[in-house]
Amino acid sequence: MRTATTVELSGGPDVVEFAIAAERLGLDVCWVAEAWGSDAPSALGYLAARTDRMLLGSGVLQVGTRSPALVAQTAITLSNLSRGRFLLGLGVSGPQVIEGLHGVAFRRPLARMRETVDIVRQAFAGGKISHSGTEFQIPRPAGEAVPMRLSIRPEHAIPIYLAALSPAMLRLTGRIADGWLGTSFVPEGAGEAYFAHLDSGLAEAGRTRADLDICQGAEVAFASDEEELRVMVAARKTELAFSLGGMGSSSTNYYNQAYGRQGWADVAALVRQRWQRGDRAGAAGLVTDEMVLATTLIGTEEMVRARLAVWRDAGVNTVRLYPAGDTLAAKLRTLGRAIELVREVGAP
């Protein structure tokens, strides 16, 4: 298994130092998020100049805020600047960010993603871009323009990863992507919740699981004993309640739906109701210890090692680690030990 992490530069200057130090620890991939904070491409360009070996990925670029041609231009530029170390991660985000922040309609996200990838790959191939779909008409019809090609060419292959949680987006990922960026992952329930849909898309394209990098992420933290673990789990219940109740819009929450498909539909619905009523403490109180432990890599060292083996056996190729710690040094200690454990568990 490969190791990865995700950073977001709104966290301050320590984030850059963390990424540089993570490369020295042997990290394989550093994904850069943007969400509603700093933009990913600027940070990726800076990190490309400050690192030498590890892969750098956009985790993710929001397709609702960029034209496909701009996505392609950005990807080619970052790939060429980093000498082939760039991975293009794309996602549709959700209505709260796309409509509430950017003022762009969040409609037909599946079609937008499918057409974006098609156009981006046309651009990567170096030909003139021409597309007639429900979301994009290139060139625009009834105008004076003719199809164009980019003046920049990719010097290296650029793998495309899709962030997907819904069944339809998972099937699309299986059909057209090189990798899957997942979250809210419970390996025991992943077969029906995730892999059945991925495998359906792979089969439609005549592909197998070997053609797709399964990249899953979770917080990692090491507890010295049962009491410390109890405190750690309790502290994370509010964060999980926010994902279940506060992420997305009043009607669309992909995280809530993902937990629901993995055995917690009733609890997830109640958490969401309480969170949206403003009862944050009540929402967090409904989150169980099992829900936290099932979707994280939190525990004693032996617990984390055993959990990584379960992830490996479930089909995870790349483990995206979010190391806990109050300081940069603490986060790096956690990350360094986690990388060692992944290597031990993933060794043949």
Provide the pLDDT confidence category of residue 269 given band limits of 50, 70 and 90: confident
pLDDT-derived band at 2 (thresholds 50, 70, 90) equals: very high
Contact 95, 124 (CB under 8 A): no
Interval 239-250 mean pLDDT: 77
* Residue 241 DSSP one-character state: H
Question: 3-state class of 260 per DSSP?
Answer: helix
**CB-based burial label for 216 (10 Å; 0-12, 13-18, 19+):** buried
Average pLDDT over residues 309-321: 96
Q: What pLDDT shows up at residue 268?
A: 86
Token couple for 105: 């309609």
Q: What is the mean pLDDT of residues 221-237?
A: 92
Q: Which two tokens stand for residue 307?
A: 């959990």
The average pLDDT across 242-252 equals 73
**Which segment of 163-177, 234-248, 263-277 scores lowest on mean pLDDT?**
234-248
Structure-token pair, residue 54: 């590890």
Query: Tokens 């290597």 map to which residue?
Result: 343
Q: Considering only 17-26, 190-199, 234-243, 329-338, which range has the smallest mean pLDDT?
A: 234-243
Instruction: Tell me which of 310 and 251 has the higher pLDDT.
Output: 310
**Interval 317-346 mean pLDDT:** 96
Higher pLDDT, 242 or 62: 62
User: Could you give the CA distance from residue 168 to residue 152 in angstroms, rounded to a whole number?
Assistant: 33
Read off φ and ψ for residue 79, nearest 5 degrees. -65, -45
Q: Which of 211, 178, 216 is nearest to 89 (CA)?
A: 178
Residue 72's alpha-carbon distances to 76, 168, 179, 253, 281, in angstroms, are: 6, 24, 17, 28, 44
CA–CA distance, 242 with 244 (Å, rounded to integer):
5
Task: Quick: pLDDT tens for 67-121.
Answer: 999 999 999 999 999 999 999 999 998 888 899 999 999 999 999 999 999 999 9
Q: Please tell me the distance from the alpha carbon of residue 336 to that of residue 348, in angstroms, as a whole number.
A: 20
Taking the domain 2-221+296-346, which CATH number applies?
Answer: 3.20.20.30
Tokens (6 digits) for 85 = 């170390």
In this predicted structure, what is the pLDDT of residue 239?
Answer: 84
| Domain assignments of the chain as residue spans, ordered by start | 2-221+296-346, 224-295
Share of the chain above pLDDT 70, in %: 98
Residue 250: the pLDDT is 61
* Residue 246 confidence (pLDDT) above 80: no
Distance of CA 82 to the CA centre of its chain: 21
The identity of residue 319, as a single letter, is V
Selection from 149, 133, 134 nearest residue 72 by Cα: 149
d(CA 45, CA 36): 19
pLDDT for the residue numbered 249 = 62
pLDDT surpassing 80 at residue 13: no
**Residue 265 pLDDT:** 82
Instruction: List the single range of 62-66, 79-83, 248-252 with lowest mean pLDDT.
Output: 248-252
For residues 175-191, average pLDDT? 92
Q: Are strands 29-32 and 213-222 parallel, antiparallel or unpaired?
A: unpaired
| Residues 328, 18: Cα–Cα separation, whole Å | 7
pLDDT of residue 248: 64
Give the up-direction half-sphere exposure of residue 235: CA atoms within 13 A in the CB hemisphere: 12
Confidence band, pLDDT 50/70/90 cuts, at residue 5: very high
